[in-house]
Amino acid sequence: MKNRYAAALLMAFTVIIPSSARAHEYWLEPDRFFLRVNENSPVSLFLGQGLRVEESRPFQPAKTTSFQLLSASGNFDLSGSVKEGDAPLFSFSADRQGNYLLSMERNLTYITLSAEKFEEYLREDGMEYVIAERERLGETGKPGKERYTRYIKSLIQVGDRRDRTYARKVGHKLEIVPVENPYSKRIGDTLPLVILFNGRPLAGRTVFVDNRDGVQHMSQSLSSDENGRIDIKLDKKGVWLVRLVFMQRCEKYCEGADWESFWSAFSFGSR
């Protein structure tokens, strides 16, 4: 591969989600999603909420299980090319047209929240099913002991040529995969995506969709259908982020955690 790297549905409901003061989303975002051949764009790992950036996070090898770039030419391991502490993470460029898919997996993190804060978090991220299960187990008043993993992807378009890299499944435990190429869409088109857990469609779960067009922000929530599918109306240009959290009872090697959550985020651009 001759890519060049500088510094190496049926919708159940749609509602507008108010902005949250609690910033906890991670997503990958290049300065520009649409590039010319050999044009450079810094790529950042952002922390924030609803595409409102609170912090640019540095590269942390100890917390990064994998960081790779996928294209029609093959896969490239970025983890050896990015230096610890770098923010932005690196500067991307490619000498061939096509789709380029960035993929990052961060390793397990353990947290404990008070019962009140845990329930607030569950409601905020559409996990009322966990609230119901805690009530069934008699744990409503107990602290929430959780471990979580993040799975983060971002799709970049170089030149005008399209390929099927957008549809690549990277094997994340919780993964968001476009059914059609986001960069074949125009403003006003609908983009279908499928939510997979352990490679199988995840039905009936809340999926959040954020858009940032300059200083304008929009967020909405959808529900995946029986095939794990959602349909997004691409009615705005700018940056798009599709994200969800799925939680289940921790079953083994829990190290004190009662619950295990999986965070998935997929970003792309529209113009």
Residues 150-201 have pLDDT tens digits of 999 999 999 999 999 999 999 999 999 999 999 999 999 999 999 999 999 9
In a domain, 180, yes or no: yes
Looking at the structure of the chain, the number of domains it has is 1
Distance separating alpha carbons of residues 39 and 57, to the nearest angstrom: 23
Average pLDDT estimate for 94-115 = 98
Q: pLDDT tens digits, residue range 50-86? A: 999 999 999 999 999 999 999 999 999 999 999 999 9
Domain of 69, in residue numbers: 12-264
36 domain-assigned: yes
CB 193 within 8 Å of CB 266 = yes
What does the pLDDT look like over 241-270, one tens digit per residue? 999 999 999 999 999 999 999 999 999 999
| 1 domain-assigned | no
Query: Within 10 Å of residue 123's Cβ, how many Cβ atoms?
Result: 12
pLDDT for 103 equals 99
pLDDT at 8 over 80: no
Q: Which CA distances in Å does 143 have to 22, 121, 127, 245, 257?
A: 19, 12, 16, 19, 11
Backbone angles phi, psi at 259, to 5 degrees: -130, 150
User: Which two structure tokens, joined as six digits, stand for 200?
Assistant: 């199988």
2 pLDDT tier (thresholds 50, 70, 90): very low
Judge whether 44 lies within some domain.
yes
Q: Which of 191, 188, 269, 183 is nearest to 229 (CA)?
A: 191
The two beta strands, 64-71 and 98-113, are: antiparallel
Question: 162 lies in a domain?
Answer: yes
For residues 19 and 201, give the distance between their C-alpha atoms in angstroms, rounded to a whole number.
29
**Of the candidates 151, 131, 256, 260, the residue with the CA atom closest to the CA atom of residue 195:** 151
223 pLDDT higher than 90: yes
